[in-house]
Structure 1
Amino acid sequence: MSDTNQLIRYSIITEKNPREIVLLRGNGCKWRRCRFCDYHLDFNLNSQLNYQLNAQVLKKVTGQFQQLEVINSGSFSDLDTDTMKLIKDICVQKHIKYLYFECHWMDRHHILPLKEKLKTSGISLQIKGGVETFDKEYRETVFCKGIDTDRPQELAKYYDQVCLLFGITGQTQNSMENDLKTGLKYFNRVCVNLMTENSTAIKPDKQVLSIFMDTIYPKYSENPKVEILLNNTDFGVGGKNE
């Protein structure tokens, strides 16, 4: 990911779970070891510049669905204090009831305090976690996610929703099916991302992608609790402005 100032940072999602979504910029993912991800390149260590950018993006939020999803290249705790305050203020002003944030496992201790804080303002915080797969050995040897538990019950103490990553060598129909079934059993919603070409060493496996599209996609494409991103910009953010 490069020229991140030119990225599309606001969009509206109208299917399944209608909401507004913004791609904000923070001081960067602190993990930075996921072998499939170059998303962390969208960062700036200057909190003032980040706030200026984020404030311009957040101006577009209308509150029309009473739901707002905020993503950035890391955890919500990597956003500056002024941006966090502005997000809360906008939720109150626009009567947004549900706020979605992402959080890496290493930052999970920030989740419950923020949930309690926002609850006093009538905002329900929903946390998405990039688990990618519930197979711990595969997750840590191939993806290098930095999640030290193999128990979905433990993950569910912090995450309301999970993101899964499919389409990589070594995954099978059974492994992908099991991941989806586990995600739906323990979490409110599941977001499936299909691996797309980027600057990392991990590449999409066309055969695995074909298995997913032929055998799994038809079963889950209409499930209201499963969102499937065939491309990583399908939510409308992250692509470049023309």
Structure 2
Amino acid sequence: MIRYSVIKEKNPREIVLLKGFSCAYGKCAFCNYILDNTNDEEEMKKVNFEALSRVTGEYGVLEVINSGSVFELNSVTLERIRKICKEKNIKILYFEAYFGYLNRLNEIREYFSEQEVRFAFGLETFDNDYRTKVLKKKFILNERVLEKLKSEYQMCLLMICTKGQTKEQILNDIEKGMENFKELVISVFVNNGTEIERDEELVAWFLTEIYPKYKEKQNIEILIDNKDFGVYVQ
């Protein structure tokens, strides 16, 4: 279990993996991060304060992730993040927020008014059928929704190389992600005990034919392994 790391390439920043309450949705077929949730606020405080104590402010940028959304962090954790940001002169702050919180993001921006808050969200794929029926992440993307997402979120998270996906779908996801969002994080799926399985043929194709074309692009981060950012629960 690693809860603090430093990302030094492309978009240098510190990153912490914190504990939160249960994910508001919690039904994604591929997610085992919800196992990190807790309703014990003392445990949450202990774990989160320890991780945040390691923040140095080296780059002035901090990414905060948890097994859900920023809205599932308790108040003392949010207060500690704000204090750390002030003490360490953090100028840019990243949080994750599920689609269902789309209309509440300004609450976080206002709370962290001294930082530029950038939001990330897990779209996983632009393919509505695959997202809703296979991945069981049940929100529908259309032009109106996409325009709203583009205006509210800085970073889009995609997941690739799962069984049932196609090469065409993956290429389309990457192209649409680049067209619509300022930052893109592409994660090659790693088997994690859930019902979703990794497609090794797609992985081999992606690594040999596609990865070299995108790995140097400044606004795209590609996680070949889910530990590549240095924080993980597995």
State whether TM-score is above 0.5: yes
- Name the structure 2 match of 1:165: 159
- Name the structure 2 match of 1:4: none
Q: After the TM superposition, which residues 195-210 of structure 1 pair with which residues of structure 2 at under 5 Å, given as runs? A: 195-210=189-204
Q: 2:24 aligns with which of 27, 30, 40?
A: 30
Q: After the TM superposition, which residues 1-242 of structure 1 pair with which residues of structure 2 at under 5 Å, given as runs? A: 7-119=1-113, 121=114, 123-151=115-143, 152-238=146-232
Contact 2:28 2:137 in 1 (8 A): yes
Q: Distance between the aligned counterparts of 2:152 and 2:133, measured in 1?
A: 23
CA RMSD of aligned residues (A): 1.3
Aligned-residue identity in percent: 38
Contact 1:55 1:86 in 2 (8 A): yes
Q: Tell me the TM-score normalized by structure 1.
A: 0.92
Q: Distance between the aligned counterparts of 1:148 and 1:239, measured in 2?
A: 29
Contact 1:127 1:159 in 2 (8 A): yes
Q: Tell me the TM-score normalized by structure 2.
A: 0.95
Gaps of 5+ in 1: 1-6
Aligned residue pairs, count = 232
Gaps of 5+ in 2: none
Q: Distance between the aligned counterparts of 2:166 and 2:210, measured in 1?
A: 11
- Give the drift of 1:170: 2.6
Structure 1 runs of 4+ with >3 Å offset: none
For residue 110 of structure 1, give the secondary structure of its aligned residue in structure 2. helix
Q: Distance between the aligned counterparts of 1:72 and 1:239, measured in 2?
A: 10
- Give the drift of 1:132: 0.4
Contact 1:27 1:45 in 2 (8 A): yes
